[in-house]
Structure 1
Amino acid sequence: MTRALYADDTGEGECALVLLHGFAGSHRVWEGVRKALPKVLPNALPKGLRIIAYDLPGHARSLGLPGAGRAKSVAQTVVDDLAARGIARYHLAGHSFGGAVAVLAAHLAPRSVASLVLIAPGGFGSGIAGDLMAARAHARTDDEIASAVQAMFGAQAQVESGVVEAAIELNSVPGQGEKLIEISSLIVRDGEQGAFPRAMLEALAMPVHVAWGSCDAVLPPHQADGLPESFIVHRLPGLGHMLPEEAPFEIARIIAESTGAV
């Protein structure tokens, strides 16, 4: 198992876009968003845009890294890794658990985080579908994995074969299944997740965009209600929890808006 945080680090630039996946994901969940970005960020790409998509601790190529499932520890790991790469300023986009990590990273390094895009983020309320999390964590056969992935998408969503294949490939990593069970037990305790204090969200001084699918079966869409007035909330009708894969172009557009590129 690796002891180094893995990142798919491409492009150049003084300011980077950093992508943080959710539970049972990897850097690959952002493939569609990355393909869409040149279409919505044309002015940012003449010399290339530096994009860093991580495998967070406990997942894929970062499986053996400590702190898996503990959002603050993961946030510190990400902040430290970016500093080691010499990146002093960056935009953060995080999905689900990665959204919670992004919030904590912004508190750890407020001068470094230029903007936040929080996609169905963890920590915005205590409600969470622990049964769906457990089903994904315990899934072992291809059919079980496919069913667990489908349940996290919108009911009408057509899950592309590549998404399921990536999930099956993730589970093929020795020790990954056991690690997902461990992580899910840390995220969901007594049927609930930990929630950020209101004051902690209000203290975020950088631009913050929040995206939520109206049919999210993992984290209730109402958790996007009543957020600080400075937050810009994007409600996506008919979509579920897996927004980077369900609506990559829309998520790319929101990221572009958050960076000020459109």
Structure 2
Amino acid sequence: MTLFSEVSGDPTARPPVVLIHGFGGSAAAWDAVVSLLPEDLPVIVYDLPGHNRSLHTEERGGAGKMAKAVLADLDAQGISAFHLAGHSMGGAVAALIAMRAAAKARSLTLVAPGGMGPEINAHALERFAQALTAEELTDALRIMTAPGVEIPADVIESMAMDRERPGAIEALEEIYDAMFTEQSSPVKAQGVLPLELLETLKMPVAVIWGDDDAILPSHQMDRLPEHFTKLRIPGMGHMLLDECPARVAELIVTQTA
């Protein structure tokens, strides 16, 4: 099965921005951000392997496999230059693509990215992975957002419908297991990207993180190279694409200018 992507604008006119969602999401996770991007900025937004319309692609698993799949698809589309933006697990995927295709990546925007430190709220993610109904998803997402922020009901309903696809929950459980380095440890640690390779990135790199992120602690940003642009947003949680889409869109515009 071919990896699914949505393309808007003309990616041959200028390098497109490639948007990569997080664990358990889909291309629709970026809708609020995309609506705020300039009309002349081409956009390619993916369903990652094991998610939604890419449910049965062979490359599902860890971030490394997913990065390989996205990069191969961009090559197949003839995209020789692009900007990258990724949220959560998609941030780790985007960073790996940037490291593997540094000559093609014009910028990298990381939104509460995975893989930047070992700490991770594995219990909350496991609960999210197993949620089936709109009610269960609402409860699971509550810890991921800042107090008072509600994910729109239609977004929750769409996520619940995605999980009704045969094999969807099994795929999420498989991807969940691939996140961690020590499966037998009572405190699970996520895999960490090689900081020495992140240090070598020459394109503009920006990181935006919610100060109250209960899934991936924002202090992981402090470990990243000094030449990265780093924005910590007070009062925001992990779901920045929903909590402050305008801030994320503004950062992407700056990165792609």
TM-score > 0.5, shorter chain as reference: yes
Correspondence for 2:5: 7
Deviations 1:187-225 (A, max 9, x none): 134411011222021011110000100111110111111
Mean Cα displacement is larger for which, 81-90 or 150-159? 150-159
Partner SS for 1:107: helix
Following superposition, the deviation at residue 250 of structure 1 comes to: 0.7
Is 2:186 aligned against 1:194? no
Correspondence for 1:24: 24
Correspondence for 2:58: 66
Paired with 1:192 and 1:160, the residues of 2 have a C-alpha distance of 31
Paired with 2:117 and 2:208, the residues of 1 have a C-alpha distance of 15
Give, as a single letter, the amino acid of the residue that structure 2 aligns with 1:151: I
Deviations 1:127-165 (A, max 9, x none): 000001100111123311211122211123122212212
Partner SS for 2:44: strand
* TM-score, normalised with respect to structure 2: 0.94
Aligned CA-pair RMSD: 1.2
Paired with 1:82 and 1:245, the residues of 2 have a C-alpha distance of 26
Within 5 Å, give how 1:155-174 maps onto structure 2: 155-174=147-166
Correspondence for 1:219: 216
Is 2:200 aligned against 1:203? yes
Is 2:103 aligned against 1:111? yes
Following superposition, the deviation at residue 67 of structure 1 comes to: 2.4
Paired with 1:158 and 1:145, the residues of 2 have a C-alpha distance of 12
Paired with 2:212 and 2:158, the residues of 1 have a C-alpha distance of 23
Within 5 Å, give how 1:67-82 maps onto structure 2: 67-82=59-74
Correspondence for 2:35: 35
- CA contact under 8 A between 1:149 and 1:164: conserved in structure 2? no
Paired with 2:231 and 2:162, the residues of 1 have a C-alpha distance of 30
Aligned match for 1:86, one of 60, 63, 78: 78
Paired with 2:205 and 2:148, the residues of 1 have a C-alpha distance of 29
- Number of residues of Structure 1 aligned to a counterpart in Structure 2: 250
Runs (4+) off by over 3 Å: none
Is 2:124 aligned against 1:132? yes
Give, as a single letter, the amino acid of the residue that structure 2 aligns with 1:257: T
Structure 1 vs Structure 2: percent identity of aligned residues?
42
Tell me, which stretches of 5 or more residues in structure 2 are unaligned? none
Partner SS for 1:146: helix
Paired with 1:215 and 1:59, the residues of 2 have a C-alpha distance of 27
Tell me, which stretches of 5 or more residues in structure 1 are unaligned? 39-44
Is 2:249 aligned against 1:257? no
Following superposition, the deviation at residue 61 of structure 1 comes to: 0.4
Mean Cα displacement is larger for which, 103-112 or 162-171? 162-171
Q: Give the direction of change, closer, same or farther, for the CA distance of 1:257–1:27 in structure 2 (3 Å limit).
A: same
* TM-score, normalised with respect to structure 1: 0.92
Give, as a single letter, the amino acid of the residue that structure 1 aligns with 2:227: S
Paired with 1:28 and 1:197, the residues of 2 have a C-alpha distance of 30
